[in-house]
Amino acid sequence: MRLPPFFIIRRYAHAALALVASLACVAFWIVDAVKGG
């Protein structure tokens, strides 16, 4: 019982999207802290 490649790709894409979103949130927080002083 193997999963189709589509589901695996979707799972990896979802994980990558969450990782990019968290990184962007951290970067925005750092920039906001630097600009806000």
Q: In what helix (H) or strand (E) does residue 31 lie, and over which residues does it extend?
A: helix 5-36
Cα 23 to chain centroid, rounded: 6
15-35 tens-digit pLDDT:
999 999 999 999 999 999 999
- The pTM for the full model equals 0.59
pLDDT-based confidence at residue 7 (cuts at 50, 70, 90): confident
Which amino acid type is present at position 21?
A: A
26/33 Cα distance (integer angstroms) = 10
pLDDT-based confidence at residue 1 (cuts at 50, 70, 90): low
